[in-house]
Chains A and B, each alone.
Chain A
Amino acid sequence: MNKTWLLVKTMLKMQYSKAGTSQSQIWLYVVAGIFLLPVLFILIPAIQMLVTAMYEVLAPANQESLILGMLLLGLHILLFMISLVTVINSFYFAEDIQSFIPLPLQPYQLLLAKAANPFLYLYLTAGAVFLPVFYFYGLASDASFLYFLYGIPVFLLLPLIPFTIASLLLMPVMRFVNISKNKDRSKVAGGILSLLFIIFINVLIRLNTDTDGLVENVALSLQEGDGLLRMLTIYYPPAYISTLALSNPLSLTGILSFAGMIAMSAAALVLFLWMGQLLYLKGLLGTGSGNKRPTASKKVQKKISARPVWLSYLQKELRIIFRTPAFLMQCVVQSLFGPVFIVIILMLDFENNSFSGLLGGFSGKQTILLLFIATVFIMGSNGTAISSVSREGKNWHANLFLPLKPAQYFFSKIAAAWVINLFTVLLALFIFVFFLQLPVGTLLAWLLVVLLASWFTSAVGTYLDFLDPKLNWTDEQEVFKWRITSLLSLLITAGPFGLIVLVLWRVNAVEGLYVTSLVLLVILAISILIIHQLLRKKINTNWQQQI
């Protein structure tokens, strides 16, 4: 156990090491924290109002346990979804595990240590939702001391079951996709599968929502105490018994449920460790090795090609993104996840055919403004631009000793982010053509505006990453984790452009689709010039790009 604890501490230390973190970066977090405070001041009273109001409505019908049931079930689903992504990232994508494999440690010990960081994240997420609702429910129901006491283990055990379910689903998948020769490719396949699974669950939930049957069930369930709770959590006992334990802590049912919940969690832990011991290392081991077959001279000759440096460098960027599982997932797959999700949901509801008229009520000017800000918002958070410099890691030195002008490689880096954004643009185009059935003129105007906007967001992300890059990583995941750059990039792109859209919306002097598009194009061109000037200034003050 001591060794496991030591491993947990070491892995957490590696993840949260302050080594190489500048003072300014730490201050940035402090400032971000201060900005979040007002949000908390609004959010917490809002949660209190919601819980109290729901309690007042449900308590007379003896259905107040529904609040806790919804909370726990919702949290379990949320934590499960997050776990799918974190399990695959932490257990399989993080390369730091490689240095631990040769040590004389059991797979379950490695697994527990690797689970520490995802668990911290899960507790943070769960805490933000669970604690206020749990507390205000206790206040509203005038709960006993035991309720609050039970709350502690319920909260502490909360992530265990969803995390175990996610691991149980993924570990066998990774064990078997790892059979293939190319380990990177199988990692990506596993990652995409887990995202598809999230979409699949959503589709399943949507398809099973039968409104008429629901009303009937609700009516029936209302007639018995905790009936709604049972109806909601019938297929998911952990949420049911945790709620029973919390809502009747003094009764025998409550005590038994509490014991049941602890037993279930313990069983989940045992199952997790057992499966891990059985499958984890097998899913992890087996990197490919160099080709030993003779290569035909003709094949090699064919691959020799000369290209302009910017194109060659751009190709290198794209190759590295597409071949590094963590980069592919963060830069490409996850940025497409949102739009793909929307497409699938739209397709499910396509029978209603209500979307073609969705934008019908808006004028040409309003349509282009809406489409513009929506796509800028999606592209502003794209991972490619904000990791432009950081992705290089220790390779950054190569940019310094090779005879490359900084402007040259920054151009290629911005271009790489722009190319990746094209996937999002194409998906959006698909939605606009097939679901919203927009006229050709609007589509062309949007396309023009959005291609320029994409350059702008790519340049902003690259510039921000250059200001404060994270090069000293041991694992690719660290490039994206706990960094404020993505939020800043989103704020800088969506903020001012949101304002511009609002102003244009109101100003009567700008009317019509084409005039509005032209104004947007001009504003974008000026913005691009400004950001390029800023980048040039930064390059000039720091010619050697010391970071």
Chain B
Amino acid sequence: MIEIHDVSKNFPSRNKAIDTLNLTVPDGKIVGFLGPNGAGKATTIKMMTGILPIDEGSITLNGRDIAKEPIAAKKIFGYVPDAPDMFLRLKGMEYLNLIGDIFDVPKELRQTRIEQLTKQFNIYDALNDHIQTYSHGMRQKIIVTGVLLHDPAIWILDEPLTGLDPKSSYMLKEMMREHADNGNTVFFSSHGLEVVEQLCDEVAIVNKGKLIFYGTIEELREKYQSDQSLENVFLELTSDE
């Protein structure tokens, strides 16, 4: 479970990038995080993952405060950033070994999981190549493999499906569903409304640093005009007027 309590964040150039945000992402559900560009999605995710300090309020992951117990909290979640261009000069296998070492994944477990995941994602044959030579989708897959390698309870995914081929995208969605059904937390941001509609149990919509809606898609439709498409509801909800 992810609990965000009264969180605010200011930047020198922009006051209240996040304005007293309250959000609880429950276990067993896939929660989509939506909002127009610059709404505060990335800032929220960066605070959740310890990349940005929190100015006010608190964020806990399965009861661990990210600001007070950062190492314990970070061991609980796996994070796929929006740009998978990390550790480009390492080989795929070297990256996975580094992640395995950081998260204390035993060698035997590593062997099974790496083989299984990379074969599923079709990147097994590229494991001995530098990540730099990977396509965008392959980079995304190696990062996702790194996350799944240590099997965290909470998944925080920033635009995880961008660049994935249909098969891998389908697989990741299945994995997300399975992870949530096992009582874990899946929180992901996306601009793809169809994916959100198809995959999420609940959605959180932010605009200008504030949470403007939290609930199921049905509740969203009910609250606004039910006959409209999600796209229209979203556009209406986040319009400036």
Residues of B within 8 A of A316 (CB): 87, 90, 94, 98
State the main secondary structure of chain B at its contact with A.
helix
Q: What is the bound-complex CA distance between A190 and B113, given in angstroms?
A: 41
Q: Please, which residue of chain A has its CB at the minimum distance from the CB of B53?
A: A544
**Which residues of A line the B interface, CB within 8 A?**
287-295, 297, 299-301, 303-309, 312-313, 315-316, 319-320, 323-324, 394-395, 397-398, 400-405, 543-544, 546
* Extra 9 A-B pairs, beta carbons < 8 Å, given A306-B105, A313-B101: A291-B126, A300-B127, A300-B128, A316-B98, A394-B83, A401-B51, A401-B81, A403-B70, A544-B51
CB distance from B111 to the nearest CB of A (A): 5
Cβ-defined partner of A404 (8 Å) among B85, B102, B126 = B102
CB distance from B70 to the nearest CB of A (A): 7
Q: Is the CB of B86 within 8 A of A300?
A: no
CB distance from B123 to the nearest CB of A (A): 9
Q: Is the CB of B86 within 8 A of A401?
A: no
Give the top 4 A-B pairs by smallest Cβ distance, nearest first.
A403-B74, A312-B101, A401-B49, A323-B89
Would you list 14 pairs from A and B whose C-beta atoms are within 8 A, ordered by A residue?
Answer: A288-B133, A291-B125, A291-B129, A295-B125, A295-B126, A301-B115, A303-B128, A304-B107, A308-B101, A320-B89, A397-B81, A400-B49, A401-B50, A544-B51
Q: Is the CB of B49 within 8 A of A290?
A: no
Q: Is the CB of A395 within 8 A of B86?
A: yes
Q: What is the bound-complex CA distance between A74 and B106, given in angstroms?
A: 62
Q: Is the CB of B127 within 8 A of A305?
A: no
Bitwise interface map of B from 107 to 120 toward A, beta carbon under 8 Å scored 1, else 0: 10011001100000
CB distance from A298 to the nearest CB of B (A): 11
Q: Is the CB of B51 within 8 A of A402?
A: no
Asked if A290 meets B70 with Cβ closer than 8 Å, knowing A306-B101, A316-B90, A544-B50, the reply is: no
**Which residues of B line the A interface, CB within 8 A?**
46, 49-53, 70-72, 74-75, 79, 81, 83, 85-87, 89-90, 93-94, 96-103, 105-107, 110-111, 114-115, 124-130, 132-135, 138
Q: What is the bound-complex CA distance between A299 and B129, given in angstroms?
A: 13
CB distance from A93 to the nearest CB of B (A): 14
Residues of A within 8 A of B50 (CB): 400-401, 544
Q: Please, which residue of chain A has its CB at the minimum distance from the CB of B95?
A: A316
CB distance from B37 to the nearest CB of A (A): 19
CB distance from A476 to the nearest CB of B (A): 10
Q: What is the bound-complex CA distance between A288 and B132, given in angstroms?
A: 9
Residues of A within 8 A of B85 (CB): 394
Residues of B within 8 A of A301 (CB): 111, 115
Residues of A within 8 A of B72 (CB): 403
Cβ-defined partner of B90 (8 Å) among A287, A319, A405 = A319
Cβ-defined partner of A398 (8 Å) among B86, B105, B129 = B86
Q: Is the CB of A309 within 8 A of B51?
A: no
Residues of B within 8 A of A299 (CB): 128
Q: What is the bound-complex CA distance between A319 and B46, given in angstroms?
A: 28
Q: Is the CB of B97 within 8 A of A303?
A: yes
Residues of A within 8 A of B138 (CB): 290
Q: Please, which residue of chain A has its CB at the minimum distance from the CB of B105?
A: A306
Residues of A within 8 A of B128 (CB): 291, 295, 299-300, 303
Q: Is the CB of A546 within 8 A of B53?
A: yes
Residues of B within 8 A of A304 (CB): 93, 96-97, 100, 107, 110-111, 114
Residues of A within 8 A of B49 (CB): 400-401
CB distance from B62 to the nearest CB of A (A): 14
Q: What is the bound-complex CA distance between A400 and B87, given in angstroms?
A: 14
Q: Please, which residue of chain B has its CB at the minimum distance from the CB of A300?
A: B127
Residues of A within 8 A of B110 (CB): 304, 306
CB distance from B145 to the nearest CB of A (A): 13
CB distance from A480 to the nearest CB of B (A): 17
Q: Is the CB of A323 within 8 A of B101?
A: no
Q: Please, which residue of chain B has its CB at the minimum distance from the CB of A395?
A: B86
Q: Is the CB of A290 within 8 A of B134?
A: yes
CB distance from A426 to the nearest CB of B (A): 25
Q: Please, which residue of chain B has its CB at the minimum distance from the CB of A324?
A: B89
Q: Is the CB of A295 within 8 A of B124?
A: yes
Q: Is the CB of B127 within 8 A of A295?
A: yes
